């Protein structure tokens, strides 16, 4: 489970234009930055000081995500190995100066790790409004010329590879960074004061019915809660976020996320989810309080209640969660509620109300919740919690990233799933009812899992290779499960 928090502001701060500007000369154009010293004085001083020392000269924008942001300022990008890009910076760190300026297009903000006070030299420039970051990162400036915005668009248009690193790094190099006086720049835009997060208005105090045509859902945010839908989401950020007024040490929030099922069964999805959170549970950072299957609006759903210690704005808080994932043939819709444990029950009814208003536009909604058992994937049921579970997870990743990437692999999986899911739910039920039978199934499928693992150690770059390896593994399994037993039986009878 991922925590995303946006604090509500109780007022605006004064806006003062900075007399000092920074000019970044890149191979795709010039970017001019003005600063907000009233909102983030230490970040402004740090950035200007690093610029004057030549720290940024020769660095590149090493992380480029169109529709979100470009990130630069890592000295490791000058001559360091690419595997170290994104973790470099000076020894001196700058404590967080979270403020009320929104992360709109052109805003310059400080990159950081999970520690709010870990800012150093790396910064990012927002390409398109990304308000789910508001009040979680220290905004300290914005770009202020037409050419700056044109250069930002050019940089986001370059080709990138793994980890959003640009293929041609010379294109996005900061050749020279320099500090200049405002009076030295003649083409500055006449920009208004930066937009800020606001106090809750009377209009916001009414229940907010929200319809997402993109995800084909309708839901209602609690009265008085801030509702946001990010234009483009960062990894692990929600599609819709509802944030409540601050009571205690953190803002309660409800998030909504929609993901593709990718041909996974309901039990496959549950298995993957439990594998994702298993490291946190094993380390003691997360405690599972309840997990159960339910149905919502006639669809299978999975509820998880948990609690754990999380560092929020520099303070360790005991946070409690309730998450409901609704499964359909095409998508999985997840609604989550999180709050400080001492305040959790006080806002839980608001989450239940939001859940009850949730409606899929393509489905009939009856808003009923009942307990459901039965069905599932025999492999997931047999291997869950066993020594084979990590191996099954690797095979699923192989299926999603390699096999389904080829036409022949997709065609095979489509036919295989039709056959497999015609009988696997029945066997999975028997596994749950009879532990001995589950162990028998686990032993029976072990040779097959071992043979499939071969695909983890080969490179498949074409349809021909997929066919050759696939046919070879199928023949191997036919030999293990049919030919070998037949030969053994024949020899026994002959004796």
Nearest residue to 178 via CA among 61, 31, 55, 51: 51
Q: Which is more confidently placed, 459 or 286? A: 286
DSSP-based three-state secondary structure for 189: coil
Same domain, yes or no: 390 and 360: no
Query: Is 152 within a domain?
Result: yes
Of the candidates 184, 219, 234, which is a domain's last residue? 184
Beta bridge partners of 209: 220
**Least confidently predicted of 141-150, 278-287, 359-368:** 359-368
Query: Is 170 within a domain?
Result: yes
Same domain, yes or no: 348 and 412: no
pLDDT above 70 (res 283):
yes
Of the candidates 371, 389, 408, which is a domain's last residue? 371
Q: Is there a contact between 77 and 60 (Cβ–Cβ < 8 Å)?
A: yes
Of the candidates 136, 155, 184, which is a domain's last residue? 184
Query: Is 5 within a domain?
Result: no
The tally of domains found in the chain comes to: 3
Q: Which two tokens stand for residue 247?
A: 């009571």
pLDDT above 70 (res 29):
yes
- pLDDT per residue over 65-100, tens digit each? 998 899 999 999 998 788 889 888 898 899 889 888
- pLDDT per residue over 55-67, tens digit each? 999 999 999 999 8
pTM greater than the 0.75 cutoff: no
Provide CB contacts within 8 A for 45, sequence distance 6+.
Answer: none
> How confident is residue 380, by pLDDT bands cut at 50, 70 and 90?
low
**In angstroms, rounded to a whole number, what is the distance separating the alpha carbons of residues 238 and 54?**
38
Provide CB contacts within 8 A for 486, sequence distance 6+.
Answer: none
| Average pLDDT, rounded, for the chain | 80
Same domain, yes or no: 122 and 226: no
Q: What is the CATH number of the domain that holds 276?
A: 3.40.1000.10
Same domain, yes or no: 217 and 162: no
Same domain, yes or no: 311 and 392: no
Query: Is 402 within a domain?
Result: yes
Which range has highest mean pLDDT (120-129, 351-360, 404-413)?
120-129
Query: Is 9 within a domain?
Result: no
Looking at residues 202-210, what average pLDDT do you find? Answer: 51
Exposed, middle or buried, 360 (CB in 10 Å: 0-12/13-18/19+)? Answer: buried
Same domain, yes or no: 262 and 330: yes
DSSP-based three-state secondary structure for 143: strand
Q: Which two tokens stand for residue 321?
A: 């969660």
User: DSSP letters of 421-490?
Assistant: HHHHHHHHHHHHH-HHHHHHHHHHHHHHHHHHGGGGGS---SHHHHHHHHHHHHHHHHIIIIIHHHHHHH
- pLDDT per residue over 255-268, tens digit each? 898 888 888 888 88
pLDDT at 364: 41
Beta bridge partners of 325: 302, 334
pLDDT above 90 (res 381):
no
Provide CB contacts within 8 A for 437, sequence distance 6+.
Answer: 430, 431
Phi, psi of 241 (to 5 degrees): -130, 130
pLDDT at 386: 64
Q: Which two tokens stand for residue 127?
A: 């390409």
pLDDT at 366: 39
Q: What is the CATH number of the domain that holds 101?
A: 2.40.100.10
**Ramachandran sector of residue 386 (left: φ over 0; alpha: ψ -120 to 50; beta: rest):** beta
Q: Is there a contact between 9 and 197 (Cβ–Cβ < 8 Å)?
A: yes
Supply angle C-alpha 345, 347, 353, rounded to 5: 115
Please give the radius of gyration of the chain, using alpha carbons only, rounded to the nearest integer.
27
Same domain, yes or no: 325 and 472: no
Query: Is 196 within a domain?
Result: no
Query: Is 47 within a domain?
Result: yes
Same domain, yes or no: 76 and 44: yes
> Could you list the residue range(s) of the whole structural domain that residue 296 is in?
204-371
DSSP-based three-state secondary structure for 322: strand
Same domain, yes or no: 212 and 307: yes
Same domain, yes or no: 244 and 175: no
Enter the DSSP assignment of 405. G
Same domain, yes or no: 145 and 245: no
Q: Which two tokens stand for residue 347?
A: 């806002």
Same domain, yes or no: 337 and 250: yes
- pLDDT per residue over 442-489, tens digit each? 888 888 877 877 777 777 777 777 788 788 888 888 887 777 777 778
Query: Is 13 within a domain?
Result: no
pLDDT above 70 (res 389):
no
């Amino acid at each position: 489970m991922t925590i995303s928090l946006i604090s509500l502001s109780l007022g605006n701060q004064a806006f003062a234009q900075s007399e000092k500007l920074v000019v970044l000369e890149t191979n795709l154009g010039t970017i001019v930055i003005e600063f907000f010293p009233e909102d983030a004085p230490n970040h402004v001083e740090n950035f200007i000081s690093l610029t004057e020392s030549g720290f940024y000269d020769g660095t590149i924008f090493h992380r480029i995500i169109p529709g979100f942001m470009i990130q630069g300022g890592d000295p490791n990008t000058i001559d360091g190995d690419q595997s170290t890009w994104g973790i470099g910076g000076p020894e001196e760190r700058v404590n967080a100066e979270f403020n009320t300026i929104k992360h709109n297009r052109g805003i310059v903000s400080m990159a950081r790790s999970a520690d709010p006070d870990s800012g150093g030299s790396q910064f990012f420039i927002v390409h398109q409004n990304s308000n789910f970051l508001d009040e979680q990162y220290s905004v300290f400036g914005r770009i202020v010329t037409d050419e700056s915005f044109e250069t930002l668009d050019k940089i986001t248009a370059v080709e990138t590879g793994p980890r959003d690193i640009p293929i041609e790094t010379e294109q996005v190099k900061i050749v020279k960074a320099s500090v200049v006086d405002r009076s030295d720049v003649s083409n500055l835009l006449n920009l208004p004061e930066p937009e800020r997060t606001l106090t809750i208005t009377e209009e916001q105090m009414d229940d907010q019915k929200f319809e997402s045509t993109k995800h084909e859902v309708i839901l209602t945010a609690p009265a008085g809660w801030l509702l946001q839908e990010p234009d483009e989401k960062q990894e692990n950020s929600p599609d819709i976020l509802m944030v409540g007024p601050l009571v205690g040490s953190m803002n309660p929030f409800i998030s909504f996320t929609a993901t593709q099922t990718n041909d996974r069964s309901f039990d496959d999805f549950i298995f993957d989810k439990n594998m994702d959170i298993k490291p946190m549970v094993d380390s003691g950072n997360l405690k599972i309080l309840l997990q159960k299957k339910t149905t919502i609006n006639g669809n299978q759903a999975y509820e998880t209640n948990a609690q754990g210690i999380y560092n929020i704005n520099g303070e360790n808080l005991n946070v409690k969660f309730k998450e409901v994932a609704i499964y359909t043939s095409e998508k999985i819709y997840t609604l989550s509620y999180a709050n400080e444990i001492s305040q959790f029950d006080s806002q839980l009814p608001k989450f239940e109300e939001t859940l009850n208003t949730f409606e899929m536009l393509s489905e009939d909604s009856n808003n009923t919740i009942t307990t459901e058992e039965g069905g599932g994937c025999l492999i997931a049921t047999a291997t869950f919690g066993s020594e084979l579970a990590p191996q099954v997870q690797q095979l699923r990743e192989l299926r999603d990233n390699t096999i389904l990437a080829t036409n022949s692999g997709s065609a095979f999986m489509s036919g295989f799933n039709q056959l497999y899911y015609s009988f696997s739910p029945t066997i999975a039920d028997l596994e749950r009812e009879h532990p001995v039978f589950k162990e028998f199934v686990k032993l029976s499928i072990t040779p097959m899992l071992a043979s499939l693992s071969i695909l983890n150690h080969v490179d498949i770059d074409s349809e021909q290779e997929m066919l050759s390896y696939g046919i070879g593994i199928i023949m191997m399994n036919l030999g293990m499960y049919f030919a070998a037993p037949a030969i053994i039986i024949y020899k026994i009878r002959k004796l």
